[in-house]
Amino acid sequence: MGKTKSLNPRSLERVKKILENRTKKIVKITPKEAAEQLEGQIRQAIKNGYEVGEISRMLKDAGFPIPAKVIEELNRTPEMLDMNNMEASDDSSSMQK
Is 2 within a domain? no
Is 92 within a domain? no
Domain carrying residue 35 = 27-80
Is 64 within a domain? yes
Is 55 within a domain? yes
Percent of the chain clearing pLDDT 90 (strictly above): 45
Is 93 within a domain? no
For the question of whether the overall pTM of this predicted structure is more than 0.85, the answer is no
Longest alpha-carbon distance in the chain: 87
Number of domains into which the chain is organized: 1
Is 5 within a domain? no
The confidence band for 2, taking pLDDT boundaries of 50, 70 and 90, is low
Which tens digit of pLDDT belongs to each residue from 37-65?
A: 999 999 999 999 999 999 999 999 999 89
Is 73 within a domain? yes
pLDDT at 79: 57
Is 72 within a domain? yes
